[in-house]
């Protein structure tokens, strides 16, 4: 028997069949997102051969120098998603303001936020990068959405996902009914189901944090990491391992695969900005995926998905991954 694999298109259509009143609009939107990620994957794979490495002269609204691929990926995402009539407006890390769908196209009922290229400091050194996206509903009766219409808590997300451009390209998705992973089969140009029902182990001995910020950390983070580092001889009674890829997509994918905890906490260096990672297109979609796979996601003080957003580019502390470790870190915050 031929080894038949479910394509992502088939998977989404079959999943939507169980949803009452589904019109196919959402299925079609996801298809356009998948197409965008395939295009970005192709560009990332070809790298210097197609002249996409290196930086530009410009900065984004966060004051970060934009890589060529940050801008190209942003354009690809917009071009793929603006024409079909499923989206009312988009917002991205690389655009100061929201992107309303141009007059030439019909407007749909969804709002799309994305980080077109996550971990872009990795791009020139040929290390994994990714794309993160989140889908919200456009509030009823609004056909001219403004920034305020995007400011919905993570619990309101209809769908969240990421594409990881690593040794293979993988798309991971949730629509609130578990988490599934699809690998891009280059030969047929389709993502196919390879990682059904992903689940994060509740316990782990692996943590990820940028330790160069150690002197800025708050007491609970310092305590947690100190205890990990003490290993077998310390209070935890076991040795821990550490990883830092500097690409949240790659870290989250590792955690979904074998467990772990990822921290980009509030510290003295990022306190004024409210954290390092962005709520609307990094922390919220990743939190939905992590929770849907049985993990937990918190700022240390509250559940990320319950935070009421105040700005499109708002930053937030992120502690996510294996449930028992995240709960322990939250408890350390309560105790201090
Ligand atoms: P981006 O490339 O979209 O700006 O995001 C990078 C983020 C995240 O992916 C990663 O975990 C973190 O920034 C890395 O931060 P450091 O440079 O402090 O390690
Ligand atoms: Mn990012
Ligand atoms: Mn980015």
Token couple for 110: 């969804």
CA distance 17 to 227: 48
pLDDT at 118 over 70: yes
Domain definitions of the chain by residue range: 8-195, 206-335
Structure tokens at 69: 């691929």
- Mean pLDDT of the 201-205 span: 95
**How many angstroms separate the CA atoms of 145 and 158, rounded?**
17
Q: How confident is the model at residue 23 (pLDDT cuts 50, 70, 90)?
A: confident
- Is residue 138 classed exposed, middle or buried when 0-12, 13-18 and 19+ CB atoms within 10 A define those classes? buried
CA–CA separation, 328 and 336 (whole Å): 13
Ligand 1 within 6 A of CB of 93: yes
**Average pLDDT rounded to a whole number, residues 313-325:** 98
Residue from 246, 252, 278 to probe ligand 1 pocket by mutation (most atoms less than 8 Å from CB): 246
Confidence label for 215 from pLDDT (cuts 50, 70 and 90): very high
Q: Which residues surround ligand 3, an ion (CB under 5 A)?
A: 93, 115, 117-118
CA of 14 to the centre of ligand 2 (A): 31
Beta strands in 175-274 (DSSP E): 180-185, 190-195, 206-208, 241-242, 261-264
Q: Which of 48-62, 156-170, 210-224, 307-321 has the weakest average pLDDT?
A: 48-62
- Choosing from 118, 129, 162 the residue with most ligand 1 atoms within 8 A of its CB, the one to mutate for a pocket test is 118
Cα angle, residue 179 at apex, residues 174 and 184 outer, rounded to 5°: 90
CATH topology of domain 8-195: Fructose-1,6-Bisphosphatase; Chain A, domain 1 (3.30.540)
Quick: pLDDT tens for 238-263.
Answer: 999 999 999 999 999 999 999 999 99
Using a pLDDT cut of 90, give the percent of the chain over it.
93
Q: With a 6 A CB cut-off, is 119 part of the ligand 1 pocket?
A: yes
The per-residue DSSP string of 287-324 comes to: HHHHHHTT-EEE-SSSBGGG-----TT-EE-EEEESHH
Q: What is the pLDDT of residues 53-91, one digit of tens each?
A: 999 988 988 888 899 999 999 999 999 999 999 999 999
Helix, strand, coil in percent for the chain, rounding step 5: 40, 25, 35
Residue 123: what pLDDT?
Answer: 95
C-alpha–C-alpha distance, residues 24 and 257, integer Å = 31
CATH topology identical between 8-195 and 206-335: no
CA 235 to chain centre: 33
What is the average pLDDT across 31-38?
98
Protein residue closest via CA to atom 19 of ligand 1: 246
- Predicted local distance difference test score (pLDDT) of residue 61: 86
Distance CA 333, CA 312 (A): 27
3-state class (DSSP) for residue 239: coil
48-52 mean pLDDT: 94
According to DSSP, residue 14 is labeled H
pLDDT at residue 1 is higher than 70: no
Q: Does the structure show a pLDDT above 90 at 143?
A: no
Q: Report whether pLDDT(264) > 80.
A: yes
Test site for ligand 1: of 130, 248, 269, 290, most ligand atoms within 8 A of the Cβ: 248
Q: Does ligand 1 come within 6 angstroms of the Cβ of 94?
A: no
pLDDT at 233: 96
Q: Which atom of ligand 1 is nearest to the CA of 62?
A: 4
Any ligand 1 atom below 6 A from CB of 247: yes
Mean pLDDT (the chain, rounded) = 96
| Pairwise pLDDT comparison (179 vs 16), residue with the higher score | 179
Mean pLDDT of the 303-317 span: 98
Output the pLDDT for position 207. 98
Atom of ligand 1 nearest to the CA of 276: 13
Residues 311-319 have a mean pLDDT of 98
User: Residue 271's pLDDT is what?
Assistant: 98
Q: Is the CB of 15 under 6 A from ligand 1?
A: no
pTM of the model: 0.97
Section 152-177 average pLDDT: 98
The CB of 229 under 6 Å from ligand 1? The reply is: no
CB of residue 82 inside a 6 A radius of ligand 1? no
Fold for the domain defined by 206-335: D-Maltodextrin-Binding Protein; domain 2 (3.40.190)
**Are the beta carbons of 321 and 290 closer than 8 angstroms?**
yes
């Amino acid at each position: 028997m031929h080894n038949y694999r479910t394509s992502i298109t088939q998977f989404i259509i079959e999943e939507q069949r169980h949803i009452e009143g589904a019109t196919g609009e959402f299925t079609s939107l996801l298809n356009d997102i998948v197409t965008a990620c395939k295009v970005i994957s192709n560009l990332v794979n070809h790298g210097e051969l197609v002249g996409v490495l290196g930086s530009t002269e410009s900065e984004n609204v966060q004051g970060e120098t934009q890589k060529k691929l940050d801008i190209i990926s942003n354009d690809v995402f917009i071009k793929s998603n603006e024409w079909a009539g499923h989206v009312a407006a988009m917002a991205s890390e690389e655009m100061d303001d929201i992107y309303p769908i141009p007059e030439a196209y019909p407007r749909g009922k969804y709002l799309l936020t994305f980080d077109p290229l996550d971990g872009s400091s990795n791009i020139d050194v040929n290390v994994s990068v990714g794309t993160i996206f989140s889908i919200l509903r456009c509030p009823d009766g609004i056909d001219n959405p403004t920034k305020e219409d995007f400011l919905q808590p993570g619990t309101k997300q209809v769908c969240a996902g990421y594409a990881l451009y690593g040794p293979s390209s993988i798309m991971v998705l949730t629509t609130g009914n578990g988490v599934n992973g699809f690998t891009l089969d280059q030969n047929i140009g389709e993502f196919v189901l390879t990682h059904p029902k992903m689940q994060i182990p509740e316990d782990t001995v692996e943590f990820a944090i940028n330790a160069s910020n150690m002197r800025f950390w708050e007491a609970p983070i310092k305590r947690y990491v100190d205890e990990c580092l003490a290993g077998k001889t310390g209070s935890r009674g076991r040795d821990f391992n550490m990883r830092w890829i500097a690409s949240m997509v790659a870290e989250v994918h590792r955690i979904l695969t074998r467990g772990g905890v990822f921290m980009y906490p509030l510290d003295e260096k990022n306190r004024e900005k409210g954290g390092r990672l962005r709520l609307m297109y990094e922390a919220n979609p990743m939190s939905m995926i992590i929770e849907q796979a049985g993990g937990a996601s918190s700022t240390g003080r509250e559940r990320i998905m319950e935070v009421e957003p105040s700005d499109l580019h708002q930053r937030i502390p992120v502690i996510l991954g294996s449930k028992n470790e995240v709960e322990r870190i939250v408890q350390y915050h309560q105790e201090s």
